[in-house]
Structure 1
Amino acid sequence: MKKILVITFSSLLSLMSYLTHAGNKNMNIEEVLSTYEQALNASDTSQIMQLYSKSPVFMPQHAPAQEGRTAIEGAYNYVFSNIKLNVKFTTYEIEVLGDTAWARTSSAGKTKVLANNAIIEEGNNELFVFKMENGEWKIHRYLFATTTPAK
């Protein structure tokens, strides 16, 4: 009986450790998403690039996929030279599968067009794919599509 109890207790500890670790992984992804939101709103390309993996792909709506860090950095610099974002992200789900994870989010807020100072409503659905690199979650693939089509 003692042997069964010890094995059961050991199994319970292993399960608790796994669940705690999985929860920490989700928390880290939530932190990455929060940092990304803050960097977008600050037009901070440098901070955003710290969140991306070594070989990322960014798939913005109405534009070709941007492959690699140099292309993605250029894309963000272009975006920030044309608009100023003020958005809030909502996370609906995060799924972790080993060293890969994904998150489904939406964002909503306002965009200021810098050329004419026009303010427009902004809204998107987003899909982030993450890769674990050196113990940290990094954005590996990012895709978004508007929820507020142009009028």
Structure 2
Amino acid sequence: MLFNRSFKLANAIILLFMCVYVSKVSAAVLVNETTKISVVEQSDVAQIEALMTSYQDILNNKNVDNVKTVYTADAQFIGDNFPTATGVNNINALYGDFLSKLDFNIRFEILEVALNKDFGFIQTISTGSISPKGNGSPKGALAGNEEANREIFIVKKITNEWQIYRYIFTAELK
């Protein structure tokens, strides 16, 4: 019983330290003091931030070539109003299709990160604009086409790097 309390206290102290540390890190995705973080190793936090920043950049900058770097070979994309895509090649083709038709200007806010040794999840909310190619707002401007999505990223560690294993999202109700 004492071990269980000590373990919980130690985890709480580590979690508090990580929240303070992460809130001081400048990142393209938003991680702040309200982000819930539960990880095995501190280096995982930086890897998750880098993964989410890479994913955000893929969308905002139409970097289709980088899709294969953030997803596992056996990944699944499960999105609201999108067909389910299984496998990195099918996911890459799906991104190639919608990134050729849509302009993205979005930002992810990480709400929660929970990781064990090889698997974990990231809960996010993304906000910004998605508009038909050529009809969108200039970068940084949101003119009437704002939207938000709630996302769950199931991540898997492959050769010491976190990658997206399952990506599930739905539109945020307004």
The structure with the greater share of residues assigned to strand is 1
**Residues 125, 145 of structure 1: 8 Å contact kept:** yes
Which residue type is aligned with residue 74 of structure 1? A
Structure 1's consecutive aligned runs of 4 or more residues displaced over 6 angstroms after TM superposition are none
How does 1:39-78 map onto structure 2 within 5 Å?
39-78=58-97
- Structure 2, gaps ≥5 residues long: 1-9, 19-38, 138-144
Q: Which has the larger radius of gyration?
A: 1
Q: How many residues align?
A: 132
Report the Cα offset of residue 21 of structure 1.
6.1
Tell me whether 1:80 sits opposite 2:89 in the alignment: no
The structure with the greater share of residues assigned to helix is 1
Match of 1:90 in 2: 109
- Structure 1, gaps ≥5 residues long: 1-11
Q: Secondary structure in 2 aligned to 1:22? A: coil
- RMSD over aligned Cα, in angstroms? 2.2
Match of 1:147 in 2: 172
> What percentage of aligned pairs have identical amino acids?
24
The alpha-carbon distance between structure 1 residues 118 and 85, as it changes in their structure 2 partners (threshold 3 A), is closer
Which residue type is aligned with residue 124 of structure 1? N
How does 1:1-150 map onto structure 2 within 5 Å?
22-114=41-133, 117=135, 120-147=145-172
Q: Residues 26-55 of structure 1, C-alpha deviation per residue, up to 9 Å, x if partnerless?
A: 221111001111121001111122111121
TM-score (ref. length: structure 2): 0.69
